[in-house]
Amino acid sequence: MKQKKICYECAFWQDIIDYPPKYLEVISNKCLKIHPVADKKDKTLILGGKGKMRYFMRPDKSLLQSNDIWTIGTIPDRFLDKFRPTVIEITLKAYRQLKRTNKTCNARACLDRYHCFRYNINQEYDGSGPYNSIPLKWKVGDEHCGFFINRKDISNDENSVDK
């Protein structure tokens, strides 16, 4: 620190950038160590996050679950460009549905299409567009599609990390 003339906090984050710890994950501006699922029956273990099971999805749509999550800290603004988000937190319901199958949906006539995580919106830009318009009083989820995953169940809300 004295040689580089930097403060403790800068040295801490520079060390994490230079030598990232094992299981390092970034959610928005939080740095976490998300270990593999640990056995809760083993009373000698000290689990991070009180041992609560949490579910995550990577940008490549691979899934991750853990009950041993440790917070490294909130990334300072000056280091945010060095850390890119690597996971987003999802709900148990979304995790189970994505685990079952990760197919995309091409149902242009579905009334829940704009609220569905699986819906491939790029197909509407081919010139023909959607097949119908959604009624103003439509309730999300009333289509009762077995593959429907509400976008609200998959969020990158920074407050979800602190729960």
Convert the pLDDT of each residue in 57-74 to its tens digit: 998 989 999 998 999 999
User: The tokens of 18 are what?
Assistant: 């230079």
Name the residue with higher pLDDT: 10 or 102.
Answer: 10
Alpha-helical runs (H) found in 8-133: 8-18, 92-100
Containing domain of residue 20, as a range?
Answer: 1-88
Tell me the pLDDT band of 143, cut-offs 50, 70 and 90.
confident
Residue 158 has a pLDDT of: 47
Look at 21-25, 39-43, 57-61, 107-111 and tell me which has the smallest mean pLDDT. 39-43
Dump pLDDT digits (tens) for 114-123: 888 888 888 8
Query: 3-12, 95-104, 154-163: lowest mean pLDDT where?
Result: 154-163
Model confidence pLDDT, tens digit, residues 81-116: 999 999 999 999 889 988 888 788 888 888 888 888
Bridge partners, residue 150, by sequence: 116
| Mean pLDDT, rounded, of the chain | 85
CA distances from 129 to 18, 29, 133, 141 (A): 48, 37, 10, 22
Say if residue 33's pLDDT is above 90.
yes
Structural domain count of the chain: 1
Instruction: Return d(Cα 32, Cα 88) in angstroms, integer.
Output: 12
Phi, psi angle pair for 17, to nearest 5°: -65, -45
Tell me whether residue 98 is in a domain.
Answer: no
Could you tell me which residues are beta bridge partners of residue 55? Answer: 65, 90
> Could you tell me the pTM of the whole model?
0.76
Residue 158 located in a structural domain: no
pLDDT given at position 129: 75
